[in-house]
Amino acid sequence: MKTILIIALWGMLVAMTAAAAAPSSQQERNWFEVFNLGNSNFDVSLWNTPTGSRENVCERTYQNMTAWERRGIITFYGFTSAFSGARSSLSMIPCSQEKCDPEFNYRLFRAVTYSSPHCCHGYEKASDNDDGCSKEVEKVPVVEALKELGASSFLQTLNESGSTSLVNMLTNSKQLLTVFYLNNSAMGAVRNDSRNLLKSKKRFIKSHVVRGLLYSEDFSDEETLESLAGGTIRIRLILDAGDPVILANCAPLGDVIDHVAKNGVIHQVKKPIELPKYDIMGYLRSREDLSVFHEVFGEASILNPSKGTSFTIFAPTNDAFKNVSQSLLSEIIASPGRLKAVLKQHVTDFSICGVMLDNSSPCTLIGNRLQGSRQGDSLTVDDAHVLESDIITTDGVIHIIDTVFIPEQALLIPEAFPPSSLIVSVTEEADVLTILSDKENLTFLAPNSEALQDLLTDPRASDRGWLNQVMRAHIIYALYLAHDFVRSDGTPYSHFEVPQPNDDENMAKLRRAVHLMKLQCGRVVRKNIEMYNGHVHEIDKVLLAPEDNAWDVINEDSRFSIFAKLVRRVGLESVLQSKNVTVFVPTNDVFQSLPDGQLERLLDDDSLLEDTVRFHIARERMCLCDIKRLAYPPPWYWFYTGHMETYLKDVNLFVRSTRNSVMVNGITIAEPNIVSSNGVIHVVNGVFKPPSPLPRFGFMFDDDLGLFGK
């Protein structure tokens, strides 16, 4: 039966893979419909014969993914997915992982080229059974078509331009044109604009006209078009709430798209297309209120035009620089590396319009994400308010902001923490703050506030020399990322999983730090904080080796006096002093809440008492995370699922883990990870009862789990 099931599942997998590799015509149609912006010519299922034999049938090719950005960065601003959540889901992916892998086999995330037939300009199908496009569309010149569309204000501007040649071109020319027009409402806003956009009406109209016939499906992301006015129009293809949108110099196309005229095709835009007058540096130079940013930006040579890409600049005003700590600003400007990190945080290597910033998180050149959001007319990026947006240049877009972005990559390690924080005061007291400021290529395992508060309760913390030695153990003079020494959940690797030192002093120190972290049952709670002079990983323990063994810890804690009494009664102190033990200890309250007679029964039967104590001691040092891992082992450990070998011969403890708790033999761990020099103690809220008779091979079914109490 199992063999038949495996064969059936394998057959389904092969069929699904074949379907993904060779899409059916219906699949192609579904993909095509994602990009269909209303042109009825594009219905793939209606074409029944080869293109060459069809009358007045033209063919276009397009890809299901058109916004793979320069250098392989995925932005999901283009027509990359049919799902509305695709753009927002990208914020879960680190910038460094947004690489386009051409070998990626899932069709949804692979660029697939399609060939799409359509009626040539001016023709349409006479019927659904027409293999070609035999019916000629009744067409009128562009000017007449604009009248039919109600664009009277746009036409008024054309007539007021005084250019007979331009009017004739839009009326009688045999040359095909693409026209972007504004409706009367949008033109009203243009006439009231304080920038006097209609100073040259002729140039205004020419700015909205391109030679050639460009339907919506002909546009490519980041493509630049040459307008009749001589300036460039940059096209962006984006998803807005899952719907495809085309931007022309950040002006969104409106409701009228692909309207056919005798001598062209017409698209409505929701705001005027403004042609660039400057490149990025030229525009920054022209603004007095951006002089500080222009000066430092020009000297750093951040932009590389040879890459052939566009850029987006978030340019802080001079007032924004005044709001930065002047001492910090002076230090950053004096360091070319730190200054370049700050400036790279203000640049992306693709053009981003204001409409694209809402609920998006583009990556900057330094490798961080910016979080954009909009509330009403207010647009913010991280903590900065956008004062002016969509300033078009020949090589990108500029947005003016009121805040200077200072990324962690531009800060020294101590500057990652507030000046009043405990970590700063402790490192200063330990005389290691200067090391964290002056040295480069460091890895700092920074204890969090709770761990440092525990450290300061140690009587030895008043000894500055001892404190210096402790804190130096947290500094490694080499760069290590978290994946070098901890698992994805922040728990440390075992000693054999960390690379061997190979006479490398820093690797040996890392292994020592990982060993101390594991002894403490510690974990990394924030990882890979990239600073200018190193990496910071926040940990929840101070790297100190515990001094007392498990027996000493239990014997000295008044909460465990009954359990300690039982251990002494059967003479198992030496077991709790041996290497690598895990002890599950019930508190006095648990023993006192046992049913009447149970504790007395234990005390009267030395054999049962010894078995019970041994049943609470496991033979391996295990923190809570290790016990959890037993409940969900890898497939090749299936035979050992959830079992812990104890000091009671041939009997194991059974582990179960839920979302909120870990249970051993059905009893919850109430307080985990009390560490000792030779093991770990976990407080449990019940007493484990050894099975009777003892099972063979150490395995028990649920019905065999005996408990004194819960």
- Give pLDDT tens digits for 343-379: 999 999 889 999 988 878 889 999 999 999 988 889 9
What's the CA gap between 704 and 336, in Å, rounded? 70
Q: What is the pLDDT of residue 634?
A: 53
393 lies in the same domain as 418: no
Q: What is the pLDDT of residue 693?
A: 59
Residue type at 317?
T
Residue ending a domain, among 361, 385, 405, is 405
In a domain, 84, yes or no: no
For residue 503, what are its two tokens?
Answer: 């006479």
Residue ending a domain, among 214, 234, 268, is 268
Q: What is the pLDDT of residue 503?
A: 57
Range list of H helices, 22-163: 25-35, 86-89, 142-148, 152-160
Residue type at 450?
E
State yes or no: pLDDT of 103 exceeds 70: no
297 lies in the same domain as 366: yes
The side-by-side arrangement of strands in the sheet containing 209-211 is 209-211, 177-181, 264-268, 259-261
In a domain, 296, yes or no: yes
Least confident of 194-198, 271-275, 689-693: 689-693
- Cβ atoms of 532 and 341 closer than 8 Å: yes
For residue 576, what are its two tokens?
Answer: 């709790």
pLDDT band at residue 94, thresholds of 50, 70 and 90?
low
Q: Residue 518's domain spans which residues? A: 413-539
Q: Please confirm whether the linkage preceding 693 is cis (ω < 30° from 0).
A: yes
Q: Is 61 helix (H, G, I), strand (E, B) or coil?
A: strand
For residue 657, what are its two tokens?
Answer: 């883990």
What's the CA gap between 404 and 412, in Å, rounded? 17
361 lies in the same domain as 443: no
Q: What is the pLDDT of residue 88?
A: 36
In a domain, 571, yes or no: yes
State yes or no: pLDDT of 100 exceeds 50: no
Count the residues in the chain.
Answer: 710
232 lies in the same domain as 288: no
Residues 563, 567, 570, 571: what is their CA dihedral angle, to the nearest 10 degrees?
-170
Q: What is the pLDDT of residue 66?
A: 38
- DSSP string across 169-184: HHHT-SS-EEEEE--H
Q: What is the pLDDT of residue 656?
A: 85
642 phi and psi, to 5 degrees? 70, 25
423 lies in the same domain as 477: yes
In a domain, 419, yes or no: yes
218 lies in the same domain as 156: yes
In a domain, 431, yes or no: yes
Report the mean per-residue pLDDT for the chain.
82
Least confident of 179-183, 364-368, 649-653: 649-653
Listed in sequence order, the residues at least 6 apart from 78 whose beta carbon sits closer than 8 Å to its beta carbon are 65, 66, 67, 68, 221, 236, 237, 238, 239
Stretch 248-258: mean pLDDT, rounded? 93
What's the CA gap between 287 and 264, in Å, rounded? 39
Q: What is the pLDDT of residue 404?
A: 97
In a domain, 507, yes or no: yes
172 lies in the same domain as 198: yes
Quote the DSSP letter at residue 607: H
What's the CA gap between 40 and 357, in Å, rounded? 32
- Cβ atoms of 575 and 647 closer than 8 Å: yes
Stretch 111-119: mean pLDDT, rounded? 61
In a domain, 105, yes or no: no
pLDDT band at residue 486, thresholds of 50, 70 and 90?
confident
Angle between the N-to-C axes of helices 336-344 and 326-334, in degrees from 0 to 180, rounded to the nearest 10:
110
Residues 605, 607, 613, 618: what is their CA dihedral angle, to the nearest 10 degrees?
-160
What's the CA gap between 303 and 295, in Å, rounded? 14
pLDDT tens digit string along 600-632? 888 899 999 999 999 999 999 999 988 888 876
60 lies in the same domain as 131: yes
Check which CATH number belongs to the domain holding 466 and give it: 2.30.180.10
Give the sign of the dihedral formed by CA 674, CA 677, CA 680, CA 685.
negative
| Beta pairing class for 177-181 and 264-268 | parallel
pLDDT band at residue 397, thresholds of 50, 70 and 90?
very high
What's the CA gap between 365 and 502, in Å, rounded? 36
Least confident of 9-23, 273-287, 575-589: 9-23
- DSSP string across 43-75: -GGG--S-GGGSTTEEEEEEES---B-GGGBB-
Closest CA to 178 of 209, 147, 145: 209
- State percent of the chain over pLDDT 70: 78
In a domain, 390, yes or no: yes
Q: What is the pLDDT of residue 303?
A: 86
Q: Which helix (H) or strand (E) segment is 15 a member of?
A: helix 2-21
The distance of Cα 592 from the centroid of its chain, to the nearest Å, equals 51
- Cβ atoms of 612 and 690 closer than 8 Å: yes
Count: domains in the chain: 5
380 lies in the same domain as 362: yes
pLDDT band at residue 152, thresholds of 50, 70 and 90?
very high
pTM score, whole prediction: 0.75
Stretch 193-209: mean pLDDT, rounded? 94
State yes or no: pLDDT of 204 exceeds 60: yes
Q: What is the pLDDT of residue 323?
A: 95
pLDDT band at residue 243, thresholds of 50, 70 and 90?
confident
Q: Which helix (H) or strand (E) segment is 569 a member of?
A: helix 561-570
Stretch 625-643: mean pLDDT, rounded? 67
- Cβ atoms of 386 and 418 closer than 8 Å: no
pLDDT tens digit string along 424-434? 999 999 999 99
pLDDT band at residue 385, thresholds of 50, 70 and 90?
very high
Instruction: Output 434-439 pairs: Cβ under 8 A, ≥24 positions apart.
Output: 435/472, 435/475, 436/412, 436/475, 436/533, 436/534, 437/412, 437/413, 437/533, 439/477, 439/533, 439/534
pLDDT band at residue 462, thresholds of 50, 70 and 90?
very high
Stretch 279-288: mean pLDDT, rounded? 96
SS3 for 148-165, per residue?
Answer: HCCCHHHHHHHHHCCCHH
154 lies in the same domain as 123: no
Residue ending a domain, among 243, 268, 293, is 268
222 lies in the same domain as 127: no
pLDDT tens digit string along 37-82? 333 344 444 444 454 557 778 776 554 433 333 233 233 333 332 2
Stretch 389-399: mean pLDDT, rounded? 95
570 lies in the same domain as 689: yes
What's the CA gap between 664 and 586, in Å, rounded? 12
Find residue 617's DSSP bridge partners. 583
For residue 37, what are its two tokens?
Answer: 């912006």
